[in-house]
């Protein structure tokens, strides 16, 4: 059997492809390369360039390969952009996901692992780690678009022979410890990547978006998870579904948060470099505090993170940035 990875040339998707290949899986990738990179793809993966809503292309893939599972990463992910341009997010994240799910059901693909997000929760009512049955109050079209896809998966699983796992992840960071792939998107908004770029002199300064949040230092607090731990959770979710596990929604995070200023201090320490930081106004759609309760993933998936260390996350991110710099100089 084979696994179809949508968005497999992107940041998390490219790590997923390597994890699947390391586990001996046959991997097919579908990516339109809007934010992904061909160089990030493992050469052993079979690649199709195109859109997840291209029904003819999906039929070709399903007819050519024995796909028994889809791991769906393709989508738009920048929260402030979703606030400025909500309809594009609903089209790319929700409408096109509906087309993919529909094609999968029609082709008889039984299992689906979905890349969801903690943005479905919005700002929790208190500073405790958030659990999966917390109120769904997304504060951005990005979060709403992902929640709508979760609802479609839930209802499809109730109506058809189809099981899914939706993994709600928090702030993904770092890079493959073996240096095979990493976050390569130019102009990315992820804090750790931006801080690493600034430490290496590729940005003039780092902007802190608001310092008046109800947190100890006034900046937003997030649960940062290493990308390799995240792909391991997806692999375990796939294995569980194949073994007959029921549909599941689970958080992926470490259960503790770091503020924006904590991250900046960590990048300065690990890189050994200082860099300019400027505080500016709040950014649209940002929640003050979001940290995961990952007990469901631990219990149901048998997931045991191996890289729960902010210094390690930052170190792998810096190593990848150094690799990118050398690659771009060739």
- What is the average pLDDT score of the chain? 95
Domain borders along the chain are 2-174+224-252, 191-221+255-329
> Residues 190-201: pLDDT tens digits?
999 999 999 999
What CATH number was assigned to the domain covering residues 191-221+255-329?
A: 3.90.25.10
CA atoms in the 13 A half-sphere facing the CB of 329: 6
> Residues 261-306: pLDDT tens digits?
999 999 999 999 999 999 999 987 788 888 999 999 999 999 999 9
> Residues 37-78: pLDDT tens digits?
999 999 999 999 999 999 999 999 999 999 999 999 999 998
CATH classification (class only), 2-174+224-252:
alpha beta
In the block, tokens 């089209």 appear at 91
Q: Does the active-site annotation cover 142?
A: yes
> Residues 211-232: pLDDT tens digits?
999 999 999 999 999 999 999 9
| Set 48, 90, 142, 213: catalytic member | 142
Cα–Cα distance measured from residue 91 to residue 97, given in angstroms and rounded to the nearest whole number? 9
pTM: 0.94
Q: Where are the beta strands (DSSP E) in the chain?
A: 2-6, 26-31, 46-49, 67-72, 111-117, 163-169, 171-173, 206-209, 221-222, 224-226, 248-252, 258-259, 277-280, 289-290
């Amino acid at each position: 059997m084979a696994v179809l990875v949508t968005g497999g040339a992107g940041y998390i998707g490219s790590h997923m492809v390597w994890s699947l290949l390391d586990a001996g899986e046959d991997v097919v990738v579908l990516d339109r390369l809007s934010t992904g990179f061909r160089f990030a793809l493992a050469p052993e993966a079979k690649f199709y360039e195109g859109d997840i809503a291209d029904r003819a292309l999906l039929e070709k893939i399903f007819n050519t390969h024995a796909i028994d599972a889809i791991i769906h990463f393709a989508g738009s992910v920048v929260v402030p952009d979703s606030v400025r341009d909500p309809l594009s997010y609903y089209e790319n994240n929700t409408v096109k996901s509906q087309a993919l799910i529909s094609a999968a059901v029609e082709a008889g693909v039984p299992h689906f692992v979905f890349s969801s997000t903690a943005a479905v929760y919005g700002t929790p009512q208190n500073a405790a780690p958030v659990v999966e049955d917390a109120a769904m109050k997304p504060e951005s079209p990005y979060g709403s678009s992902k929640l709508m896809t979760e609802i479609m998966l839930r209802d499809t699983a109730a109506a058809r022979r189809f099981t899914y796992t939706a993994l709600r992840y928090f702030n993904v960071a770092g890079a493959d410890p073996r240096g095979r792939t990493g976050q390569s998107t130019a102009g990315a908004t992820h804090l750790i990547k931006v801080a690493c770029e600034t430490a290496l002199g590729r940005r003039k300064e780092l902007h802190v978006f608001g310092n008046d949040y109800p947190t100890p230092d006034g900046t937003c607090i997030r649960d940062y998870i290493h990308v390799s731990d995240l792909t391991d959770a997806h692999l375990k979710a796939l294995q569980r579904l194949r073994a007959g596990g029921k549909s599941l929604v689970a958080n992926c995070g470490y259960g503790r948060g770091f503020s924006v200023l904590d991250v900046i201090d960590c990048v300065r320490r690990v890189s050994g470099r200082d860099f300019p930081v400027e505080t500016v106004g709040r950014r649209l759609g940002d929640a003050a505090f979001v940290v995961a309760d990952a007990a469901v993933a631990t219990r149901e998936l048998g997931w045991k993170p191996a890289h729960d260390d902010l210094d390690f996350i930052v170190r792998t991110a810096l190593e990848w940035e150094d690799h990118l710099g050398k690659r771009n100089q060739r």
